[in-house]
Structure 1
Amino acid sequence: MKDNPIDFTQGLQNSVINYWNNFVQSLPRIVLAIIILIVFYYGAKYLSRFIKRKFLNADHDPLFVNFLSKTSNVLLLIVGIIFAMQAVGLSGIAKGLLAGAGISAFIFGFAFKDIAENFLGGLILAFNRPFSLNDTIMIRDFTGHVKALNFRTTHIKTFDEKDVFLPNSIVVKEPVTNFTRDGQLRLDFLVGIAYEDDINRAIAIIIKTITPFADIIKDKEPFSVVEELATSTVNLRIYFWVNTFDYKKGVLELKSQVISSVKEVLMEEGFSLPSDIQEIKWYDPKKPFPIDILNTKDDYPPYNPSKNKE
């Protein structure tokens, strides 16, 4: 038995009318849900800007402020989506999502263990703050400036211009050396003078040479100690403090300049700065000791033991 085309058309028309009526009845809820989403979207952006404007100053760490603004933005958007679903009549789904959040977290905790661990590591770093933006730090074999703290990684720019993204879980677990947290660092280097040189005079000249450098911390005077009586030299260890806010200029380049200046001044003052003396022992005195002077081999014939015996 064939369906009547008139009945099919009438049924389709009634279905469209029912859907349209339901849509019209749900339209206020849909509009309300859209308004809620818009309000929470712009509210999240405003909150993010407010946090940056309120806390991004000399008293707060930019790294922590940026991470906090991103986190608050995402959390507020999630809350807005849940309220919008309830407004549109999907409260059951919203409650189901909230009720299943614990189960989902348990399930996804195994699947995305590293992601969750790195996110929690980012939270710990943001609140604990072992380093700030543009601080010079060393983690494992990586040394460079901190450029960003993201949900999953810590971005470090090394001195050879490499971008290293370390997982936050590693940064939390590994020892972190911060060279610029206090803005100062003690440096040292070794100078060897001859045994016949005056030690006190050498130390006085070295300290006088180091002191005028502008980037050296003035409230901590440099000093020197006799570290070792080596084979051919008396080794002096010189200590001084420098500013580390600009690590490259304040530490690496400055240390090079200090060592160069100390070397030049000591040589001008008559200190020999001798190299290591090598002692050669000849245990069989009956055998001749052959010597070949390379720079005068054209002027003198090579040593011939048999000819000398004759």
Structure 2
Amino acid sequence: MGIVSIAVGFAFKDIFENFFAGILLLWRFPFENGDFIECEGISGKVENISVRQTLIRQTSGELVIAPNSFLFLNPTKVLTDLPQRRITIIAGIAYGENVTDAVRVIEHAVDGCSTVHKDRPIEIFPQAFGASSIDIEVTWWADPTPVDIRRSRGEVIAAIKQALDEAGIEIPFPYRTLTFKHPLKTMLLGEKDGEIS
């Protein structure tokens, strides 16, 4: 009987783990149907939480059936736990531009976007000396779902680009400066008797 009990215990180990994990998830309510979550590379909308498993609809359309023990034992991000999420992008301006003016132009552009929450601060800070630009960190708050994040990021990037263009502030391409150990010989090409020499 002892051996049989051990064998049965191993056989139903995963079932019991998922069952108890499901009970804890339903009891504690860390997330509910309709929430967007992310866990170990799986990201999507929770469609149903049962005692043994959770159904997650990924943004690409696939349905993921996740054992509850998987969600309980691994770190899980609840993306819609708050009604707002913070977004950060990096904008670059040329080294010859005035950083203070650029920050002011960017802040005005972001503040005019409809997807940006006005009750939370817009934060803009020069961040680093990039390879070909002064990097400026731009942070704001928007609605929390993945499509809301993409929509807001797209609107803000377009608004910043337009505002910098209108202000005459350059967004640089990468610059390359080549140096040579020895001076290069130059040759003048000319045409002589129909031939290039």
Paired residue type of 1:159? T
Aligned match for 1:257, one of 118, 134, 155:
155
- Map 1:228-307; keep pairs closer than 5 Å: 228-244=128-144, 246-248=145-147, 250-285=148-183, 287-288=184-185
The equivalent residue for 1:41 is none
Instruction: Quote the offset at 1:127 in angstroms.
Output: 1.2
- Map 1:8-27; keep pairs closer than 5 Å: none
* CA distance in structure 1 between the partners assigned to 2:179 and 2:73 by the alignment: 54
The equivalent residue for 1:173 is 73
The equivalent residue for 1:154 is 54
* CA distance in structure 1 between the partners assigned to 2:138 and 2:127 by the alignment: 9
User: Considering only aligned residues, what root-mean-square deviation do their CA atoms show, in Å?
Assistant: 2.2
* CA distance in structure 2 between the partners assigned to 1:281 and 1:126 by the alignment: 65
Q: Which ranges of structure 1 fall in alignment gaps of 5 or more residues? A: 1-103, 291-299, 302-306
Paired residue type of 2:146? Y
- Map 1:1-310; keep pairs closer than 5 Å: 108-244=8-144, 246-248=145-147, 250-285=148-183, 287-288=184-185
Instruction: Report percent identity of matched pairs.
Output: 25
> Larger % of helix: which?
1
Q: Is the 8 A contact 2:32 2:49 kept in 1?
A: no
Q: Which has the larger radius of gyration?
A: 1
The equivalent residue for 1:78 is none
- The total of aligned residue pairs comes to 188
Distance 1:164 1:181, change over 3 A: same
Distance 1:289 1:180, change over 3 A: farther
The equivalent residue for 2:193 is none
Instruction: Quote the offset at 1:273 in angstroms.
Output: 0.6
Q: Is the 8 A contact 2:37 2:77 kept in 1?
A: yes
Q: TM-score, normalised by structure 2?
A: 0.87
Instruction: Quote the offset at 1:105 in angstroms.
Output: 8.1
Q: TM-score, normalised by structure 1?
A: 0.57
* CA distance in structure 2 between the partners assigned to 1:133 and 1:259 by the alignment: 32
